[in-house]
Amino acid sequence: MGEISKEVLKKIKKEEIKPVSRLSFLLKNSFLWTLFGISIIFGSIGFSIVLFMLERTDISTYLSSVNSPIKLILISIPLLWVFLTVLSLILGYINFRNTQRGYRFEFIKVFLLNILSVILLGSLLHLVGGSLVFNTLFERNIPFYTQVADSRYAVWNRPEEGFLAGKIVRIEKVGESMLVLSLDDDEYTVLYEQARIRPLANIEIGEIIKIRGKLVEENSFEAFDIMPWDGRGRHMQEIQK
């Protein structure tokens, strides 16, 4: 018996080293696959909420009427969810790579497959209304979630650029104007005589609305288009309140 084998066997016997059970390795591998699955599911939820939030900002109608459509698109991107979706993709790849045979696949193929899965599942989830369900769940259970994650707050809080949102606090019978408390708690007198009022936008005290228009003077806003706060994109007419 060689020196190394003697030493190794001596150490194994002395320290009573035992082989790790096969079950442990199976569990480890299953755990990695589970994490991979979870990351794909979470990524899909993230992507569906990205779609949901993009749609809910209602910017598509106005892209052609603003000076900088790219800026508007960038502002409307829900960065938190984009970040979480990308993070899920990265974690998914790492988990997959660490499964027993995951190393055999090229990075780009695995990553593209992950992206494709997340896009397909996320779009499907959004189409069946899952994104609304999840977003509502997060809104109700995570403090400050809305302010941090909801890109409407960024898009519709720029009165100087024609995007205003807020709660109706007073309605003037004469002259079709109302007092709106903006997302920043500033008061704006909104003139809406010429405005298009979407069917689900109720002009009632306490209602939160989105207003596309023009800042005519300080704290005075002329509305062109009034939408409900919770309306979203092309579904705005159908959405149930």
Interface contacts to other proteins, rule CB under 8 A: 1-2, 4-9, 11-13, 17-22, 24-25, 100, 103-106
Minimal distance, residue 26 CB to other proteins, in Å: 9
Q: Which is nearer to other proteins, 2 or 175 (CB)?
A: 2
Minimal distance, residue 98 CB to other proteins, in Å: 9
Minimal distance, residue 108 CB to other proteins, in Å: 10
- CA–CA separation, 143 and 127 (whole Å): 27
Q: Which is nearer to other proteins, 2 or 143 (CB)?
A: 2
Minimal distance, residue 106 CB to other proteins, in Å: 5
Q: Which is nearer to other proteins, 106 or 185 (CB)?
A: 106
Q: Which is nearer to other proteins, 22 or 241 (CB)?
A: 22
121 and 62 Cβ atoms separated by less than 8 Å: no
Within 8 A by CB and 6+ apart from 96, the residues are 32, 36, 102, 105, 110, 114
- CA–CA separation, 55 and 199 (whole Å): 18
197: which strand partners? Answer: 226
Minimal distance, residue 3 CB to other proteins, in Å: 8
Minimal distance, residue 43 CB to other proteins, in Å: 23
Minimal distance, residue 14 CB to other proteins, in Å: 11
Inter-CA distances, 57 with 52, 99, 159, Å: 9, 40, 15
Q: Which is nearer to other proteins, 25 or 83 (CB)?
A: 25
Q: Which is nearer to other proteins, 11 or 170 (CB)?
A: 11
